[in-house]
Amino acid sequence: MGQGGQGGQGGKYGLTDHIVSPRVYFAIYAILLVGTYLTIQIAFFDLGPLNTIAALTIAVLKAVLVVLFFMHVRHSTPLTWAVVAGSVFWLAILLTLTMTDYLTRGWRTYG
Amino acid sequence: MTTALVPPRHYLNEKYGIASWLLTRDHKRIALLYLASVTAFFFLGGAFAVLIRLDLATPAGDLVSDDTYNKLFTMHGVIMVWFFLIPVIPSVLGNFLVPLMIGAKDLAFPRLNLASWYIYVLGAMFTTYAVVTGGLDTGWTFYTPFSTVSSTTNVTSAAIGIFITGFSSILTGLNFIVTIHRMRAPGMTWFRMPLFLWSMYATSLIFVLATPVLAITLLLIAAERVFHFGFFDPAVGGDPILFQHLFWFYSHPAVYIMVLPAMGVISELVAAFCRKPVFGYNFVAFASLAIAVLGFLVWGHHMFVAGTSVYAAMIFSMLSFLVAIPSAIKVFNWTATMYKGSIAWETPMLYAIGFIGLFTIGGLTGLILATIGIDVHVTDTYFVIAHFHYIMVGGTIMGYLGGLHFWWPKISGRLYNEFLAKVSAAIIFIGFNLTFFPQFILGYLGMPRRYHAYPPEFQVLNVLSSAGASILGLGYLIPMMYLMWSLRYGPIAHFNPWGAVGLEWTTSSPPPTENFKEIPVVTWDAYDYQAPVESHVA
Amino acid sequence: MPDAAIPHAGHPSGLTVSAPDHHLAGRSALAHQFDSLEQQREASTLGIWVFLLTEVLFFGGLFVTYLVYRSSYPGAFVAASHELLIWAGGVNTVVLITSSLTMALAVRAAQTGNRRQLVWLLVATMALGTMFLGIKAFEYYTEWVEHHVPGLNYRFEGEYFRTAQIFFSLYFVMTGLHAAHMIVGLGIMAVLLVLSLRGRFTPEYYNPIEAGGLYWHFVDIVWIFLFPLLYLIGRHAH
């Protein structure tokens, strides 16, 4: 049974090479719980636009931890990283280009 | 050259019986299942086109009522786009050829491949149900709030049908991406792959990135109709233009799903029939990826007059000019390939040059439409209809027919009648141009699309167009007949009747179920026409 | 994007490599189209990741709808968000995060060949998932009682009557789609549980567990975003 971050047998691609210690999983779990607690607490203070930024920042950090550690992306191939990055990037295209319409509708046009 | 003999055991005679087809995991048989289905839907969509052109032969809308006419063009569009053009080359030629070209025994997930076909059929049944029980009249674009609030036709079942079929596309794309990344034969690096595989890879990227957005959009349409949610209903504060953003985010890349595979076919045809490597291989490969990526950034050009902000429109217009560049690079490179090539004017090559010319016209008129100042005048006219039919029919369908003829000997083990094939190609070319070129003029003169009553001064051009359509229809029927005839009576094909380079040509015609007796080790480039063909046999 | 390396190792002479004997419970784990278990695992992993990419875009359409309407109707979104049960959302967030922990540990159990642990961790994951759905069902019932379901019995007091409907529509579609994914997830877990009990998985072959785990974590991540975006808008004003 593997302990810690020892590599197993097999090829150079990813996951069975890395059996993560339960301690790492529990540590990440604790951070996720803290993040959840924080995000609820912050919501009850009036920080203006920072409320949304704080909530989204915490959500993104939690998601990154789940992706890197629970989903093993930290020890995955560059191709897996590319797929994860691609999904975020394409979602960003959808959100950004759509919002160029809504954010600029109120702007003055010619004449 | 040895006399061609039918190989004793191949994928068609390996097993007989309906179950061996309906439960197959062989990508080649699945390709044929798709061939049968998409061909059936092509003729159904074509039937609606016949009715449309009949009605448009006279200025008064006198063949059918206004409501029925709305249903005719809607169902022509829905069936042709989602049940023919999007699946045809990937699911027929792609399924058949990807493992063969890559040197693999099958796709990465054969059962998923079969499931994709069943999902296609299920979605098609839903949509056919919608068609025969009253139809759909929203246009293939489903614009809100008409589709969600006012239309009294089968919007929900059609939306569900297309939603289901979308998953067929997504899973096919997923299968191709994994296969191309992980199952290439030893020695086949990315830059030794035939360009058809680059096109299929780029198309698969679009499948997996764009289709889910269509799926959620159709789900929202259905939910809006059933629960009256109000996302796109101004009465509740919803924005109909948001629907258009979501719809076109998918539907613009969808047109690249329709044309990229055809471009991949053209690369193969031009190389084989000029007996030369494609000029600028790397540029063509990267251009495929560039089209896939840039195609996601231009959807707003379908919405220039919808009510979006002018600034967003300008951004989309500039990006639309950009996306023409990789397509142009491909056209230049195919032409350069022909220079000093040893050109053989067989049927597939006729379709290839037809594609190059007609796609160029379609593409240039796309640039015209991307210019906001001009688009304001010609949008929603026959100019747009002519533009996209030049690409989809003059482009995709000609690419498909060229590929079908080129690989027919591999797929069926038979040769088709070359004379009839050449005659059909000519009939299709003439019929196509007679149908659609007048439509550019009609649109420019102001005839709107989706209308069946028009001012009498437009009648001459409309009659020309309808006459062309009947010629085009005849042109499509003839290949159906001689290809089917060849299955039984055609001369038996050699394993490489064209003397082409490619792993698919090293195995028997038809191939055995497992594709290769031995998986080859690839040490040569994709279009290595300098070396003798025999040296490429594993 | 393109791997620089020559594709999969293991073909020194170009001849087909006959697969080593991988018989488990009487059935070979190596599918015919692959040349090695390792190639099969790589393909399986890439396949599930590409599928998750499609799911990001699928939910993405709802997120862009949310973005458009929250920026258009901020007041209505605040008022409507206050009606949601923040404790239910919070508990559900903890429940799902815990289920991700048990799932990650389950994958590890498969990697290390510990069948008993694998089975119990899958059971725990399913139990937590069911708890999530139970709480969700209770929330939906509450919302129905309070007439916040558009299309069924919608009523909303005050100036935001019209546009709060958009918030609730988004809430039901987003959490409903998420719940549908949870239900499918439970189905997948059930299948994995049965296969685990039958001893199908070994340290050399546990692709389905890994794939199921990735799917489950993805569903968790969607909720990690849904919770603050739906439940925590302008709560300070309460």
**In chain B, what are the domain boundaries?**
18-536
Other CB atoms within 10 Å distance of the CB of residue B274: 23
CB B270 within 8 A of CB B195: no
Instruction: Note the pLDDT tens digit of each residue in B164-207.
Output: 999 999 999 999 999 999 999 999 999 999 999 999 999 999 99
**Predicted TM-score of the model (pTM):** 0.93
Looking at the DSSP assignment, which residues form a beta bridge with residue B492? B414
Query: Of A35-44, B80-89, B341-350, C24-33, where does mean pLDDT reach its minimum?
Result: C24-33
Distance of CA C30 to the CA centre of its chain: 27
* pLDDT number for residue C224: 97
* Mean pLDDT computed over A73-89: 95
Closest CA relative to residue B8, chosen from B512, B452, B398, B446: B512
Closest CA relative to residue B375, chosen from B386, B384, B387: B384
* pLDDT number for residue B500: 94
* pLDDT number for residue C21: 43
pLDDT of A102 above 50: yes
Return the structure tokens found at C65. Answer: 């709808």
Query: Of A11-15, A79-83, B114-118, B195-199, where does mean pLDDT reach its minimum?
Result: A11-15
CB B212 within 8 A of CB B124: no
CB contact under 8 A, B188 and C7: yes
Phi, psi of B474 (to 5 degrees): -60, -45
Instruction: Note the pLDDT tens digit of each residue in B34-67.
Output: 999 999 999 999 999 999 999 999 999 899 999 9
Q: Looking at beta carbons, which residues of chain B come within 8 Å of A79?
A: 181
CA-derived radius of gyration, chain B: 23
Other CB atoms within 10 Å distance of the CB of residue B237: 18
Dist CA C75 CA C115 (whole Å): 53
Task: Work out the percent of chain B whose per-residue pLDDT is above 90.
Answer: 93
Other CB atoms within 10 Å distance of the CB of residue C201: 24
> Which three-class secondary structure state does DSSP give residue C205?
strand
Closest CA relative to residue B169, chosen from B227, B231, B89: B89
pLDDT of C12 above 50: no
CA distance A60 to chain B (A): 21
Burial of residue A107 (CB within 10 Å: 0-12, 13-18, 19+) is exposed
Question: Side chain identity at B171, as an amino acid letter?
Answer: L
CB contact under 8 A, B297 and A107: no
* Mean pLDDT computed over A2-22: 53
CATH 3.30.70.870 for the B18-536 domain, yes or no: no
Buried b (16+ CB within 10 A) or exposed e, B55-66: bbebeebebbee
CB contact under 8 A, C58 and B215: yes
- Alpha-helical runs (H) found in B92-231: 95-102, 110-132, 155-182, 195-227
Q: Which residues of A touch B (CB under 8 A)?
A: 79, 86, 90, 93-94, 97-98, 100-102, 104-105, 107, 109
Residue C158's pLDDT band (boundaries 50, 70, 90)? confident
CA distance C224 to chain B (A): 20
Task: Work out the percent of chain B whose per-residue pLDDT is above 70.
Answer: 98
Dist CA C76 CA C80 (whole Å): 6
Query: Of B268-272, B506-510, B515-519, C155-159, where does mean pLDDT reach its minimum?
Result: C155-159
* pLDDT number for residue C4: 39
CB contact under 8 A, A101 and B181: no
pLDDT of B437 above 90: yes
Question: Side chain identity at A31, as an amino acid letter?
Answer: I
* pLDDT number for residue C27: 53
pLDDT of C10 above 80: no
> Which three-class secondary structure state does DSSP give residue B294?
helix
Looking at the DSSP assignment, which residues form a beta bridge with residue C205? C202
CB contact under 8 A, B296 and A105: no
Length of chain C: 238
CB contact under 8 A, C169 and B231: yes
Phi, psi of C28 (to 5 degrees): -70, 140
Phi, psi of C27 (to 5 degrees): -130, 135
Looking at the DSSP assignment, which residues form a beta bridge with residue C50? none
Dist CA C34 CA C49 (whole Å): 19
The residue written with tokens 């949610």 in the block is B229
CB contact under 8 A, B312 and A104: yes
CB C53 within 8 A of CB C214: no
Instruction: Please indicate if any CB of chain C lies within 8 Å of the CB of B181.
Output: yes
Number of Cβ pairs closer than 8 Å across A and C? 147
Instruction: Output B454 or C14, whichever has higher pLDDT.
Output: B454
Instruction: Output B423 or A111, whichever has higher pLDDT.
Output: B423
Instruction: Output B373 or B536, whichever has higher pLDDT.
Output: B373
Closest CA relative to residue B231, chosen from B140, B148, B137: B148
Report the run of H or E that residue C28 belongs to, with start and end: strand C27-28
Residue C155's pLDDT band (boundaries 50, 70, 90)? confident
Return the structure tokens found at B237. Answer: 């504060």
* Mean pLDDT computed over B264-285: 97
* pLDDT number for residue B325: 97
Instruction: Note the pLDDT tens digit of each residue in B85-140.
Output: 999 999 999 999 999 999 999 999 999 999 999 999 999 999 999 999 999 999 99
* pLDDT number for residue C234: 84
C2, C151, C162: residue with CB nearest B228: C151
Other CB atoms within 10 Å distance of the CB of residue B322: 13
C45, C52, C224: residue with CB nearest A62: C224
CB A42 within 8 A of CB C135: no
- Which residues 93-122 of chain B have a CB within 8 Å of chain C? 99, 104-110
3-state SS track over A19-79:
CCCHHHHHHHHHHHHHHHHHHHHHHCCCCCCHHHHHHHHHHHHHHHHHHHHHCCHHHCCHH
Sign of the torsion angle spanned by Cα atoms B459, B462, B464, B470 = negative
Dist CA B467 CA B486 (whole Å): 30
C16, C50, C53: residue with CB nearest B519: C16
Closest CA relative to residue C112, chosen from C214, C196, C202: C202
pLDDT of B4 above 70: no
Residue B1's pLDDT band (boundaries 50, 70, 90)? very low
CB B493 within 8 A of CB B414: yes
- Domain C51-237: top CATH class: mainly alpha
- Which residues 6-35 of chain A have a CB within 8 Å of chain C? 8, 10-11, 13-16, 19-20, 22, 25-26, 29, 32-33
* pLDDT number for residue B533: 53
Instruction: Note the pLDDT tens digit of each residue in C80-133.
Output: 999 999 999 999 999 999 999 999 999 999 999 999 999 999 999 999 999 999
Question: Side chain identity at C17, as an amino acid letter?
Answer: V
pLDDT of A13 above 80: no
- When the pLDDT of each residue in chain B is averaged and rounded to a whole number, the result is 95
> Which three-class secondary structure state does DSSP give residue C27?
strand
Cis peptide before B510 (omega within 30 of 0): yes
| ipTM for this model | 0.94
Report the run of H or E that residue C23 belongs to, with start and end: strand C23-24
CA distance A12 to chain C (A): 10
Chain A residue nearest residue C2, CA to CA: A79
Q: Looking at beta carbons, which residues of chain A come within 8 Å of C93?
A: 36
Contacts 24+ apart (CB under 8 A), C198-204: C198/C25, C199/C24, C199/C25, C199/C115, C200/C24, C200/C25, C201/C110, C201/C115, C201/C118, C202/C24, C202/C113, C203/A8, C203/A16, C203/C110, C203/C111, C203/C112, C203/C113, C204/C22, C204/C29, C204/C37
Sign of the torsion angle spanned by Cα atoms B71, B72, B77, B82 = positive
Dist CA B49 CA B55 (whole Å): 10
The residue written with tokens 């007048």 in the block is B438
* B299 DSSP 8-state letter: G
Number of Cβ pairs closer than 8 Å across A and B? 37
* pLDDT number for residue B531: 67
